[in-house]
Amino acid sequence: MLDQRPVSFSGVQPSGNLTIGNYLGAIKNFPEFSEKYKCFYCVVDQHAITVRQVPAELRRRTYETLALYIACGLDPQKNTLYVQSHVPAHTELAWMLNCFTMFGELSRMTQFKDKSARHADNVNAGLFTYPVLMAADILLYQTDVVPIGSDQKQHVELARNIVDRFNQLYPDTFTMPEPIVPKAGARIMSLAEPTKKMSKSDENENAVVRILDDKDAIIRKFKRAVTDSGSEIRVADDKPGVTNLITIYSCFTGKSVEEIEREFDGVGYGDFKIAVGQACAERLAPVQEEYRRLLADKAYLESVMKNGADEAAYYARKTLSKVRRKLGFVNL
């Protein structure tokens, strides 16, 4: 029986150790969604192969990403957790949606331009069309909301364009998805370049704090974080480094910007950076402990994958059957 709640969909690539930007911008907020929404959380391993992968490493990171999802508070009993390649309907729908997506739309996608520049020796068709697979991920479950970082709006907009185009020809096929950007922590910036988003693919390890970094590494990275001229700890346009640290501290402690500015009034940047590092390390410690426990139980993780894939496929079949029928395919 289909759950009648609105649907939320989110996916993360198993392409490296997730950062506190991934955690604070998205994953940390996921558990509360399960009370209001029917939630699908997908490890999007098929997106990962737009760049060359070492097969054994991709498999390992798939387990690790699933374990990290659960360790961060996603209960498999309340959410559908699964691996994208275990539900073939994703790629089947993606082909159909390719035929309703314009070449010009894909050529304007920012991430295609960025990845093409970084992987100039492998600008493959998948790299160009993967936003259509992302649209299929979303539309397959008649998704109402997509929790995203602010930099992902372009992908949801493409999905919305496809829905509009498809539904005009074949009414009432897809639900129009809405992006949800969390109010706090939606965009955590690099510790080395605070005008640039923190990225798990950053080659400068001091720029990135990862969810699984140990306490010493976390504090060391925050100590080295770039700050600004002056000495006041306050949010300001001309203080991107300090503003980023305040945002991170606020997300980990729940304190408002005003409370933080009062707490650290007259305190130097050095002491403030240590305090941010300690707050981060303390909050991540139980996540890391649970992650290690889960990763040691491969059979459990595979049972979560299997149950999640079965449930996701049940919902996906309903959409796929409708799309096939409307396009004129013969359903057996």
**Dihedral through CA 134, CA 67, CA 29, CA 226, nearest 10?**
-90
Selecting among 38, 115, 221, 273, the annotated active-site residue is 115
Whether 197 is catalytic is: yes
Give dist(CA 316, CA 227) in Å, integer. Answer: 48
Q: For strands 145-147 and 38-43, give the pairing.
A: unpaired
Residue among 1, 6, 2 at smallest CA distance from 146: 6
Residues 6 or more apart whose Cβ sits within 8 Å of residue 297? none
Q: DSSP code of 257?
A: H
Query: Which amino acid is present at 33?
Result: F
Q: What angle do CA 84, 32, 162 make, to 5 degrees?
A: 45
Catalytic residue among 200, 215, 255, 322: 200
Token couple for 94: 């993606």
Taking alpha carbons only, the member of 49, 135, 154, 153 closest to residue 94 is: 135
Residue carrying the six token digits 């992006």: 179
8 A C-beta contact, residue 115 and residue 51? yes
Among candidate residues 38, 78, 183, 197, the one labeled active-site is 197
Nearest-angstrom CA–CA distance, 47 and 128: 11
Give yes or no: 115 in active site. yes
Active site residue 200: yes
Cβ of 58: how many Cβ atoms within 10 Å? 15
Q: Which residues are catalytic?
A: 115, 197, 200
